[in-house]
Amino acid sequence: MIRTTRWYPDTCDCIVEYQWDDNVPEAMREHRISRMVAQCAEHPGDDLMAVFAAIVATNKAAASA
């Protein structure tokens, strides 16, 4: 089943909705952005997958620091 998650990253003011398939094993899941609910000044752009990738990268970098 396709699930939708609303994500509020700790590293910016973006709000992202992304979808994923719970029938796919967790290690193989692909998260696909479905829409930007809010977009901060740090992550501008119309290419939603590129914006999503940038937010994820920023969030991972902050988590490992």
Provide the residue range defining the domain that includes 7: 2-64
pLDDT tens for residues 13-47? 999 999 999 999 999 999 999 999 999 999 999 89
Quickly state the pLDDT bin for 6 (edges 50, 70, 90).
Answer: very high
Cα→Cα distances 64→16, 18, 28, 46, 58, Å: 21, 23, 22, 28, 10
User: Which pLDDT does position 22 carry in this prediction?
Assistant: 96
Q: How many residues does the chain have?
A: 65
Counting the structural domains of the chain, the total is 1
Closest to 11 measured CA to CA, from 50, 26, 45, 64: 64
pLDDT above 90: residue 64: no
